[in-house]
A and B are shown apart, each in its own frame.
Chain A
Amino acid sequence: MRHFKTLIKKECIEEISSSRGAALYLAGCGVLSVFSLLLVSNTELSLLDNAQAVYMMSAIIIALALLIAVIRGSDGFAGERERETLELLLITPVSPAEVAIAKLMGLIFSWFVVFVLSIPYLWAVGSTGQNLIPALEYLFISGTLLVVIFGGFSLALSARMKTFKGALSIGLTAFLLSGSPILLGPSLRQSTVGRFIDLINPFANALNMLDSVVVDSLGVLFQIIPLAILIFYTIAAIWVLSMTTRRVEL
């Protein structure tokens, strides 16, 4: 683990200095600008309860962070393999698992950048309400866990796939599948199947947690189950990543 600092530093610099990273952040800011503008200026959306507006904005920020985590995670190994830089890392005394964990730290750093960038947008739509601070706290916690989950699985996939496109297509499909139950109507989500899908879906758990904190103003005790599920997935993602990258062949 002695190479960690060097590898993490490289991943973080690459996140912000590469043209791909900058383009993703710029696109993210564009999306957040459009949505926050809609929430404060659109006639119907501006009538939303302040808490609802903060919740919607938080959900958009999480979705954006996950999208970036899936794209960057898929690029992690497969992209470096395509750019012929992976071999340079693997011919050093660094183990593939160390590279993987450093890349995961890079994704978390990327999420921190997105989180900091999103604060002004959240403030713009929710500064007059009471739940902005809890929203920020739970957004940070759930966002971090979700980035580790989706980023970790994407990286694991990337370590096994030969091409970035292949890893990305599977990663995006998984991302969309995890987001799709949210599109179910309220009645369907209340059904047994809907509840079960909600229970096992980390994305849905994070959104339910935010809903319960921001909209319903419920305390920390009500968040234990969704938080436990998110932590379970986080541990699973780190385990899968470490097992997948015990040996990465060129």
Chain B
Amino acid sequence: MKVVEIKSLKKSFAGKKVLEGTSMTVYHGDIYGFLGPNGSGKTTTLRILLGNLYSDGGKIAVLGLSPDLDGEQLRQRVNILPESHGFYGWMRAEEYLRFFGQLYGLQLTSANWRMHLEQVGLDPADRRPIRTFSRGMKQRLGIARSLVNDPEILFLDEPTNGLDPKGRRKIHDLLLKLNREKEMTVVISTHILDDVERLCNRIAILHNSKIQYEGPLFAPAVGRSIRYRFHLADDKSIPSTWNFPGISCQEKNGPWVTCKIKDIHPDKALSLLVQKGIPITEAIQVNSGLESMYLNITAQGKE
């Protein structure tokens, strides 16, 4: 089911075209990575999707609603973590969540706001005003706020900005859990490709005012290779040359073999190797090829 559908979206600022015929589709249950260089129009697109900016043309439907005409109804059902979001520094974390809960018509109980704070790794017993929080703590609080209305679609603009590796992992796990358990659709606009590789099933790359690529993260059609390291139970069983379609062995190091997978889904490649009797005990993805694809696409045309 399509939950976000954009067709030929146009937007200019002072004569400068930011979006020119942009089209994209997000399906229910997707964790959708929205990529693009700085100033490519990602934040503009998100603002238009929530009805905070007028578009100059095109068709937009979010949960079947028009952001321009049904903005308030739509914003009741979705939420966003903007890239740059201020805080009311005089509020405490619980007051902050209760305030935004009330704007969604919700009266958060103590258990509610405690749960929201705990799930992003903040201490509910922390009674300090928000102005004393570190950047990472504010980012976590922002994520907690964006979940306050239990949104059907969660838009995140650079969600792991300012988070340490542990904090990033916690947010990753939270998003995956929400997506799995509540079937929450998540749209992530980010520059951190590792976030995308870990979380997203589908991606879009916005460049030169248009979507240059939209599709699955692991898309054989793209013709890009993915590198995997396999650990084998018996290193004597490593053949000198592998000749499987779409899989080529690049280097050997003890029981480890690094392979390049191309034009075949990694899951299928793994099954194929196991079927052929290769005693694989562990498989580690070295890179998904996303970085090279991203750099190739964004190197084209104007920056």
Q: How far is the CA of A93 from the CA of B148 in the complex (A)?
A: 13
Mask for B35-79, Cβ within 8 A of A = 1, else 0? 000000000000100101110000000000000000011011001
Query: Distance (Å) between the CB of A101 and the closest chain B CB?
Result: 14
- Complex: A200 Cα to B87 Cα, angstroms: 42
User: Given A93-B73, A95-B72, A250-B52, are A88 and B82 also a contact pair (CB < 8 Å)?
Assistant: yes
Query: Which of chain B's residues has its CB closest to A13's CB?
Result: B90
CB of A10 within 8 A of CB of B88, answer: yes
Interface flag for B165 (CB, 8 Å): no
Query: If A17-B90, A88-B86, A95-B72 touch, does A6 touch B52 (CB 8 Å cutoff)?
Result: no
**Across-interface contacts of B88 in A (CB, < 8 A):** 10, 14, 85
Q: How large is the interface on B (under 10, 10 to 19, 20 to 34, 35 or more residues)?
A: 20 to 34
B80 contacts the other chain (CB 8 A)? yes
Q: How far is the CB of A59 from chain B (nearest CB, A)?
A: 34
Q: Is A90 an interface residue (CB 8 A)?
A: yes
How far is it, in angstroms, between the C-alpha of A94 and the C-alpha of B103 when the chains are bound?
7
Q: Does B213 contact A (CB under 8 A)?
A: no
The reply on B133 being an interface residue by CB < 8 A is no
A interface, how many residues as a size bin? 20 to 34
A:1-58 near B, CB below 8 Å: 2-3, 6-7, 10, 13-14, 17-18
Q: Tell me if B75 and A84 are in contact (CB < 8 A).
A: no
CB-defined contacts of B103 to chain A, threshold 8 Å? 3, 6-7, 89, 92-94
Given contact pairs A84-B86, A93-B103, enumerate 8 new A-B contacts (beta carbons under 8 Å). Answer: A3-B105, A90-B52, A91-B75, A92-B104, A93-B72, A93-B73, A249-B52, A249-B54
- Interface, chain A (partner B; CB < 8 A): 2-3, 6-7, 10, 13-14, 17-18, 80, 83-85, 87-95, 247, 249-250
25 A–B pairs (Cβ distance < 8 Å), ordered by A:
A2-B105, A3-B102, A6-B102, A6-B103, A13-B90, A83-B86, A84-B82, A84-B86, A85-B87, A87-B82, A87-B84, A87-B85, A89-B103, A90-B52, A91-B52, A91-B79, A91-B82, A92-B75, A93-B72, A93-B75, A93-B103, A93-B105, A95-B72, A249-B53, A250-B53
